Amino acid sequence: MIRSYKLEDINYIISTHYEIYHKEYHYDESFKEFIQKKVWDIVNRAHVRENIWVVEKEGDLKGSVCINQFDSEIAQLGLFLIDPLSRGLGIGSQLIKTAIKFSTEKKYKKIILWTNSDLIAARNLYKKFGFEIVETQEVVLSNIAMVEERWELILNSEGERKGEN
């Protein structure tokens, strides 16, 4: 079940992001600080055009995604994570659909996201939903050299993805 976050979910969102990215990609503590700030910024703003969703299965949390307002016309997708043991079950697609539907309902014209070239499975999912890479840059984040990518998805006035029938 995908649902909006509760305050008791915040520790899961922050700690799981750090633990998985540290284990799989060797990200340092600065990543945990980045995630913590992003989560608390959304929680503290309590803006009607922003939300964090979690996947709950049999009482356990298995993933998350968020939409925050970049500006009045642009939503930003983030905090996208699937528990390693729950990957490949369609949860990621469900989370992305939830974020796109919410963005459409809130009348955003575009969704952007930042990711990096090492996150192959996530990148494939973004492509599946019509996101396109619009910018790349070489950066050092969390003490790791990487190619950071900005992706975007244009939403049409009927709330469908650009090019969708």
From first to last of its 165 residues, the chain has per-residue pLDDT tens of 999 999 999 999 999 999 999 999 999 999 999 999 999 999 999 999 999 999 999 999 999 999 999 999 999 999 999 999 999 999 999 999 999 999 999 999 999 999 999 999 999 999 999 999 999 999 888 888 989 999 999 997 654 554 443
**Predicted model pTM:** 0.91
- Residue 157 is predicted with a pLDDT of 60
The rounded radius of gyration (Å) of the Cα atoms in the chain is 15
Burial 132-148 (b: 16+ CB within 10 A, else e): eeeeeeeeeebeeebee
What single-letter amino acid sits at 65? V
